[in-house]
Every structure is written in C-alpha cells, then in structure tokens.
Structure 1
Amino acid sequence: MHIINARLRNQEGLHELHLENGLISNIARQTEAPTLGPDDLDAGGNLVVPPFVEPHIHLDATLTAGEPRWNMSGTLFEGIECWGERKVTITEEDTKTRAKKTIQTLAAHGIQHVRTHVDVTDPQLTALKAMLEVREESRHLVDMQIVAFPQEGIESYRNGRELMEEAIRMGADVVGGIPHFEYTRDQGVSSVKFLMDLAERTGCLVDVHCDETDDPHSRFLEVLAEEARSRDMGSRVTASHTTAMGSYDNAYCAKLFRLLGHSGISFVSCPTESIHLQGRFDNFPKRRGVTRVNELLEAGMNVCFGQDSIVDPWYPLGNGNILRVLEAGLHICHMLGYRNLQSALDLVTDNSAKAMALGERYGLERGRPANLLILSADSDYEVIRSQGLPLYSVRGGKVLMKRQMPVVEFFGEQP
C-alpha cells in the first residue's frame, strides 16, 4: 500500500509512505504527481500521524454510570463508593461486554494503543481475569497494557499486597497504586515503596494514581519521584493526575520540579475528569483541579492527556474521542497560545507513547509498524479547531477504519 499526498508534522511539502508486510518500508518527499493504485490511499494534503494513544482509562468500570446509583456529589470519593457497590455484582462476561464496546468506540476515534487500569482490590480478581482475555481478543483493534490498580488501597485493603502480587503473576503489565487514598501518610509512603519494589523485581512498568486531590499536603509525588530516581527507573514510571500540584505553593513546586526533572518520570493529566471531580470542597474561587501541565512541559518533562473514564461513577460523559479531551485540556490549562497549538497533538501521540514505553513499536519511521491515521486537517491547529475526526485508521498496513465525512445541505436562499 502507498499513501500519497501526505502532510507530516514539522515537515515541509507532501510525502509518500510505502507500507509493506505490515511495516513502513519508506517515507519520501513527493517530487512529482504520484499515481494512485487500486489499494493506495490519497491523504489529500491532510496530516498523516501515528495512531492516537489512550494512556489512562478504566475499561473495567466503563458504561456503569448510575449502577446501582449516581454519584450525586460529583466527588472522587463518592465515585469510589459507588464503584464499590457495583463491583460486587460484576461478572467476567459483564466486564468483557462493556470493555469491548468501549474499545470499539476508542478504535473508531483513531486510538490503537490503550493503557487500562483494572481494579484488583477484589479477592476473586474478576475484572482482571476478564480484561486479560479482552487484551488478547482485541489485538486486531488495539495494543493494550493492563495496570494492576488497587482502587481501595494496597495497605488499607485486606490482603492488598498479596492481590497486587497475584495480579502481576497473572499477566498485568503495569504496577499501579493510589497512595493518597491509603488511611495514613505512612501507609501511603509504604505503598509506594512496595509497588516500586514489585515493579523492580518483575520488570514491570509503573503507573500510580498520585495525589488526586486538592489537598496541598498530599505530597506522595515526591516519594514516587525519588524512588524512581534512586532506582534509575524513571523511564518506566508514570504519575497520573497529580492534581494536588495545582494547589501547591510556588516555593514548594520550585523544589519539587528539580526532583521531578532528575527522576525522568512521565505524567498523565485527565483534564476533563479532573475539573469535574476536583474543587468540590471549594466555595469561591473554585480550583480547576488539574496539575501544572504547561509548567511541566516547559520544564522539559513528558506530559500527556488521557480520558480516564467513559460513563462510569466518576464521570458520566465521554465518547472515546481523545481530541475532545485535548481541546478541553488546552482550554483548562491555559494552553491556547501559538506554540502550544502548533505542537498540541504531542499530548495524545508521541508523549503518550513515551509514557507507555512503546519505543520502536510506535512512530512514522522506516521499519516500524505500519500503524497510522489520515486526519481530516493539515495541521495540529486545524485538527483542534475543527475537531475533525480521523478519515482512515491503518493497522498493520491494512485499513482498519474508514470514515465518511457528513454532508450538509442548505435549502432556500443562501447569502
């Protein structure tokens, strides 16, 4: 397959991509009008990019909003309570059905790489068993990483450590944590050290729900970053949410950023969910409840955006379109300046791939998998402004998804 008239990010002119045996065999600047073969695709001057990446979602909880009740306060903690009530009724089949439906929605929006957190604070590990099967059964649509996520804590949940160990033995790819939800600060610190020990011993990646609160005294990020730095594991570690950073004073952040830079860890922000869940204990002014995304980026750190939830106890909306989250995040984080808009797609492509340690399995380079999107606009700016969805999703050198753009007809006298 050849893709012609492709515009590549940060490059001048039009390009032609050759895909062969599931790999990108060549990328070349077009010097003359190419011939379109029967199996070729014409990008029409639009951007061709690697697939979108979803670095933070909870597929085991997806499509459960309102079951058995709605989160009326809109807080993180009531969401956890609602999920705890729903969790006792889940089955493997129930989990698989909901997860697969959401994966199809993600794939329809150009996502081909997914990191899902799966609740392992369940003695039967029902959701994990289901998601391990979903990972294999959905390989034609997405590559999936599964996080062993202790929703109700490692130290504060009975046998939490043993369940984490078992989840990794069963095949989870990533070690998770939630230190700010443990009963005490000491438990939060010990949970971070335990999960880092587990990841170091097993060679797993790490992705921790860290300081997802407005409380400026929640400072487990410094613990996680120092553990990553001292063990030389920064490239394998992601701190998700870190919303308390939005409430830290600047003096503390100045010190913290020095450590974060030395640690080499990545960050995931879920801006639509954070602005919904956080600030709930404020009167006015109300906090936005997001981490310092732009400041982290300007300090040279790796940051990306995730959707977090789709119709679950924590977030009642969501449709799988990560461009929706990107646009909202740019607004929420005061990132509508010229430079931000010119590189905005990094937040849902390259930066996310780095956080997931995809390495040579990702990107538009010769010899890498022929996984890519043809978008409906010719620049980062225009993709965001128009909220245009991918026209084609190509996976393994074959068309996975094709989108017909809607046609609008006006009737009567026109201006």
Structure 2
Amino acid sequence: MRLLRNARLLGRDGAFDVEIDGGRFGRILPAGRGSGDTFLDAGGALVSPPFVEPHVHLDTTLTAGEPRWNASGSLWEGIAVWSERKRTLTHDDVVARASEVLRWYAANGVLHVRSHVDVTDPELVALDAMVEVRESVRDVIDLQLVAFPQEGIVSFDNGPELLEEAARRGVDAIGAIPHFEDTREDGVRSLKVAFDIAQRHGLMLDAHCDEIDDEQSRFVEVLATLARRGGLRSRATASHTTAMGSYNGAYSYKLQRVLARSGVNLVCNPLANLCLQGRFDGYPRRRGLTQVKEMLGAGVNVAFGHDDVMDPWFPLGTASPLQVALVGVAAAQLTGAAEIDEAFAMVTDRAARVLSLGDRYGVGEGRPASFVVLPAASPFDAVRRQTRPSHVVAHGRLVAETPAAPTRLTWPGRAPEDIDFVRERDR
C-alpha cells in the first residue's frame, strides 16, 4: 500500500490521504490517518482526476504549413490543404506526429483522448497507424478513435463501405459530417448510415455537426432524435455545432428541449472555431461557437476540446487543456465564479462523460489511480493562473513532473521576492 498525502480534493473541504493499491485508489481518509509508504505528498495542492481531451485530430497534428499554409484561414481551405497533404501520408509519418502530441498531452496531465481519424482514404493509412498508436500508449493514455469521414459519407465514393471497414478494424466510435454532404437529404441519410453502423457494431457515435455559419444547417436535431429513438443517447456526441451561434431565439428554445431530452453530448472547440468561423462575415462578425452557456443551463452535457494542434485549421497549440478552458471562458462568456469552475469540469468530468468513461474515471475507491496534482487552491485558480501539473500519475505510476519555476522580482523598496500571481488575500 502506498499513500498520496495531504491532497485537496474537488468538492471536499480539508486535506486528505488517499491510499493507492496495485494501480487503483483505495480508501480516502482525513489527512494524517492514511497508512502506507508515502508515494507523493501533495502539500495541500489540488488533486484532480486527469484532464480529458474529447476532440482532436491526431492524424493531422504538426502539419501546419504542409504542403502550404491555409492563407484564408477558413475551414474550407483547411480541408483543401489537408486533402493535398493526405496524399503524402505514410504509416510512420502518422505514428511519429501523433505520438509526439500524445506525449505533450501526457505532460499536461491529459490521460484520456478521443481522436478523430480521417477515413476518406481507400487505403486507411492513418487509421491503421492510429490503431497501432492506441496500443503503444495504453499504459499511459486511454486513446479512443473515431472513424471520421472528412469528405462525406454518401457524397464520397464508397463512403459507407469505408466506415464499415473502419468499424471492423477496431475504432471506438463512428463519425459523420452531414453539413458537408452535397444536399440536406444526403446529410440526413449520412447520419442514418453512421448510426446504423455504430449500433450494429456496438460503438459510440461522434459527428462533426453543423460546423458552419449557416443558420439553416440544423442536423443536430436529427442526430439528437436518432440517438434518443435508437437508444444511443449519451453514447452519441455532436461536435462543433457552430451554426447554433446563428440560430434565432425561438428555434434555440426548441433545440434546448430536444437535446436535453435526448441525452446527447456537445463538444465545443473554442480555439479552432473562433479562428475558423465567421470568415465570410463583414462586421458585426459572429463568434462561431455553439450555445455553450444556454445548453449547460438546459441540462445538456457540454465539454471543451482542442480540435487541432498545429495543422491546416489551427497553426498553434501545445495540447494544454487549461488553455482551452481559459479561451472557452472568454469566448462563451463564462465569467461567473461558478461558471469558471464549470469550465474546468468541461476539460475533466464533463469531457469524461463524452467518452463514456464511467467508473474508469475519478478519484474514488476502486478506480484507476490516475490523477494530476495542480499547485492551485481551486479549479477557478487553476484556470486563472494556468497552473501546469506538478505531477501526473497514470495507474499509480508517475509519468510527468514539472518543477516549480517562480519568477524572481526585484522591486524598488522591497526585498527580492518570488511572484506567483496569487492575490494576497487568497493566500
């Protein structure tokens, strides 16, 4: 038996000792009452379940500028650039880039990742590579793969057959992109194809849905209805849904009821979509995000994701979930104290719900001993100060450490001091 000592836990007052036995959590006791050799002394720091990435494209990461830059910055040119880069994909190329970014994720405390993988490639090169990556990182990161039809299902030659083959090769979820199909009818049909494959293979569903500024793009209602009537419910996710930022009030009110009743998840990707959407607008220019605050208020589960890390759609990023949460706070106007705590949940607990992790996630007896130690007093504090995890632990094994690196300031009339950006009255 080993012991995590002096931990501040989410939703609990005081400090605690947490027993760790065989890679799993044991008892949680008041500080000083645990038994066993000290594995880690948190020193009163915040101990949280690991961060969760609910939406990224690992097969496209680290390709920004290859073979050319996305000059317009639009979603559509990004797809065109990727189509060119996709022709040069090799197995080793995908493995190397995806593995590098997964190491970044682990260093940032992200131990659960859902990656969409483009399957509009007759050879499925990226998919086979990502299946190999999933196996290679399993001792540290739980990686889910979504078969993503980047160029459509029914509007792409052999699209349904490629999705079916992806299901046979071992993906965790089936994707779709209904707003990219040739017609509204094709979009609806594509969702029905995706749901059918997901249900027959016992898989989850995660569709890129209404990622466009067109207020007439309303496929999310179709996805939610199929999920409710077919029983998939919370195992179905609508990602992006940026057209929701253009819906009128009456339709938005109806949609809140439809989504809440269905149990589906929404994933908002604030970094990428703030850059990609509104590219055809003059001023005023739309924000290009889903209705985060309103859907949370309606009881819909909403999470924040990266979407892209240095690729044709977004050229920046370090795989930091707290950066995503911070941008999400600003973009979705979640500036109340409780709302900022909620933004932290959107890259932890709420994102875990998107991945259907259940009892494989969380600090609780019998669950995997995977967690992060944050030098912060609260989720609010972690988001505000962007605190890097001091320790990242996967299944009871330390996988990453970040030593403290305070700024030393010499100020007129004061002795040299360390600056940690903590407000004096909060110490």
Scaled by the length of structure 2, the TM-score of the pair is: 0.95
Partner of 1:20: 21
CA distance in 2, matches of 1:358, 1:342: 21
CA distance in 1, matches of 2:413, 2:66: 49
> CA shift at 1:237, angstroms?
0.2
Partner of 2:120: 121
Q: Residue type matched to 1:84 in 2?
A: S
Query: In the alignment, is the contact (CA less than 8 A) between 2:19 and 2:36 conserved in 1?
Result: no
Partner of 2:11: 10
Query: In the alignment, is the contact (CA less than 8 A) between 1:36 and 1:42 conserved in 2?
Result: no
> CA shift at 1:146, angstroms?
0.3
CA distance in 1, matches of 2:318, 2:146: 22
Partner of 1:403: 402
Partner of 1:367: 366
Partner of 2:387: 388
Summarize the alignment of residues 10-409 of structure 1 with structure 2, pairs less than 5 Å apart.
10-30=11-31, 32=32, 37=37, 39-409=38-408
Q: Residue type matched to 2:3 in 1?
A: H
Which one is further off, 52-61 or 138-147? 138-147
Residue deviations 1:77-105 (CA, integer Å, cap 9, x gap): 10000000000001000000000000000
Residue deviations 1:239-278 (CA, integer Å, cap 9, x gap): 0000000100010111111111111000100011111000
Query: In the alignment, is the contact (CA less than 8 A) between 1:118 and 1:148 conserved in 2?
Result: yes
Identity %: 49
Query: In the alignment, is the contact (CA less than 8 A) between 1:4 and 1:36 conserved in 2?
Result: no
- Structure 2 SS opposite 1:286: coil
> CA shift at 1:414, angstroms?
5.1
- Structure 2 SS opposite 1:343: helix
Q: Where in structure 1 are there 5+ consecutive unaligned residues?
A: none
Q: Residue type matched to 2:395 in 1?
A: G
The runs of at least 4 consecutive aligned structure 1 residues that moved more than 6 Å come to 33-36
- Structure 2 SS opposite 1:117: strand
Q: Residue type matched to 2:324 in 1?
A: V
CA distance in 2, matches of 1:158, 1:20: 52
CA distance in 2, matches of 1:136, 1:330: 34
CA distance in 2, matches of 1:412, 1:339: 35
- Structure 1 SS opposite 2:9: coil
Residue deviations 1:7-58 (CA, integer Å, cap 9, x gap): 111111111110010110111122x487994x42111111111000001000
Q: Where in structure 2 are there 5+ consecutive unaligned residues?
A: 415-427
CA distance in 1, matches of 2:393, 2:252: 42
CA distance in 1, matches of 2:125, 2:87: 10
CA distance in 1, matches of 2:114, 2:20: 26
> CA shift at 1:225, angstroms?
0.6
CA distance in 1, matches of 2:129, 2:87: 15
CA distance in 2, matches of 1:168, 1:275: 32
CA distance in 2, matches of 1:78, 1:358: 35
- Structure 2 SS opposite 1:7: strand
Residue deviations 1:162-218 (CA, integer Å, cap 9, x gap): 000000101111000000001111110000001001111111000000000110000
Query: In the alignment, is the contact (CA less than 8 A) between 2:18 and 2:34 conserved in 1?
Result: no
Q: Residue type matched to 2:130 in 1?
A: M
Query: In the alignment, is the contact (CA less than 8 A) between 1:209 and 1:240 conserved in 2?
Result: yes
Alignment RMSD:
1.3
The 1:413/1:36 distance shift into structure 2, 3 A limit, reads farther
Aligned residues: 413
CA distance in 2, matches of 1:287, 1:343: 24
The 1:404/1:414 distance shift into structure 2, 3 A limit, reads farther
Q: Residue type matched to 2:30 in 1?
A: R
Query: In the alignment, is the contact (CA less than 8 A) between 1:342 and 1:380 conserved in 2?
Result: yes
> CA shift at 1:144, angstroms?
0.4
Scaled by the length of structure 1, the TM-score of the pair is: 0.97
> CA shift at 1:151, angstroms?
0.3
CA distance in 1, matches of 2:356, 2:410: 52
- Structure 2 SS opposite 1:19: strand
- Structure 1 SS opposite 2:382: helix
- Structure 2 SS opposite 1:172: coil
- Structure 2 SS opposite 1:382: helix
- Structure 1 SS opposite 2:322: helix
The 1:34/1:246 distance shift into structure 2, 3 A limit, reads same
CA distance in 2, matches of 1:412, 1:197: 66
- Structure 1 SS opposite 2:388: coil
CA distance in 2, matches of 1:334, 1:368: 34
